[in-house]
A and B are shown apart, each in its own frame.
Chain A
Amino acid sequence: GAGVSQSPSNKVTEKGKDVELRCDPISGHTALYWYRQSLGQGLEFLIYFQGNSAPDKSGLPSDRFSAERTGGSVSTLTIQRTQQEDSAVYLCASSLPGYQETQYFGPGTRLLVL
């Protein structure tokens, strides 16, 4: 079946503009995760959804970052007033519920803030 999809694949924006990144999880996966991967770095956890609710928002780096999920499916990560340090690859993953379930990752959105 179809994997996790993300759009856009690449986004170039100017400092101060808002951006929206979209994630389409695998059908039936109730858990959804957002991570950020900076150049040469590991993955930084941002936020996790179970259904439409986000029990853990601890990883969001500032109040400029927000995320929502509707219908238990598509999720949008919004970054307001982008800064150059926001430049990174934003990865989305989804899984079935449960601690031992495997997370399946999308290809990522490469964000460049000029």
Chain B
Amino acid sequence: AQSVAQPEDQVNVAEGNPLTVKCTYSVSGNPYLFWYVQYPNRGLQFLLKYITGDNLVKGSYGFEAEFNKSQTSFHLKKPSALVSDSALYFCAVRDMMKSTFGDGTTLTVKP
């Protein structure tokens, strides 16, 4: 069975500082990994995904994520956080057609 862990319920950073939102996964086959962001009272918006190839994946809004097979991690990063990045972030792993989501990490960026 596949699983995803987001070890931090909350991440706080100051605007302009780099941010990292952590994700580790467990899957029996090849990992297909996704990051989504959810703003209040909205659905999930796709940020980026890792399927194969380069371990550093670049996505929307300046976000990127690094796939690390040995550590089974897929941490989300951004070099310089914006107040508007404050939202709920979900990591997901795909096995066949079923996606398993982490519990989410609330990112708060303070001015």
Interfacial residues, chain A to chain B (CB-CB below 8 A): 4, 31, 33, 35, 41-43, 45, 48, 50, 55-56, 91, 93, 99-100, 102-108
In the bound complex, residues from chain B placing their C-beta under 8 Å from that of A106 are 43
In the bound complex, residues from chain B placing their C-beta under 8 Å from that of A50 are 97
* Also in contact, A31 and B45, with CB within 8 A (given A42-B90, A42-B102, A42-B104): no
User: Whole-angstrom distance between the alpha carbons of A105 and B103 in the complex?
Assistant: 17
Instruction: Report whether A102 and B49 are in contact in the complex, using a CB–CB cutoff of 8 Å.
Output: yes
Residue of A whose beta carbon sits closest to that of B100: A45
Contact with A along B35-69 (1 / 0, CB 8 A): 01000011111100101000000000000000000
B46 to chain A minimum Cβ distance, whole angstroms, is 5
User: Whole-angstrom distance between the alpha carbons of A86 and B8 in the complex?
Assistant: 27
User: Whole-angstrom distance between the alpha carbons of A22 and B99 in the complex?
Assistant: 21
Residue of B whose beta carbon sits closest to that of A98: B97
Contact with A along B70-111 (1 / 0, CB 8 A): 000000000000000000001010111111111110000000
* Also in contact, A4 and B43, with CB within 8 A (given A42-B90, A45-B99, A99-B96): yes
Which of B42, B43, B98, B102 contacts A48, CB < 8 Å?
B98
B73 to chain A minimum Cβ distance, whole angstroms, is 18
Mostly, the A contact residues are strand
Instruction: Report whether B101 and A42 are in contact in the complex, using a CB–CB cutoff of 8 Å.
Output: yes
User: Whole-angstrom distance between the alpha carbons of A108 and B96 in the complex?
Assistant: 24
* Also in contact, A99 and B46, with CB within 8 A (given A42-B103, A42-B104, A43-B90): no
Instruction: Report whether B98 and A45 are in contact in the complex, using a CB–CB cutoff of 8 Å.
Output: yes
Instruction: Report whether A104 and B46 are in contact in the complex, using a CB–CB cutoff of 8 Å.
Output: yes
* Also in contact, A99 and B44, with CB within 8 A (given A43-B101, A45-B98, A56-B98): no
The contact sample of 11 A-B pairs, CB cut-off 8 A, is A31-B97, A41-B103, A43-B44, A43-B92, A45-B99, A48-B97, A99-B32, A100-B49, A100-B94, A104-B46, A105-B36
Contact with A along B10-44 (1 / 0, CB 8 A): 00000000000000000000001010100001111
Instruction: Report whether B34 and A102 are in contact in the complex, using a CB–CB cutoff of 8 Å.
Output: yes
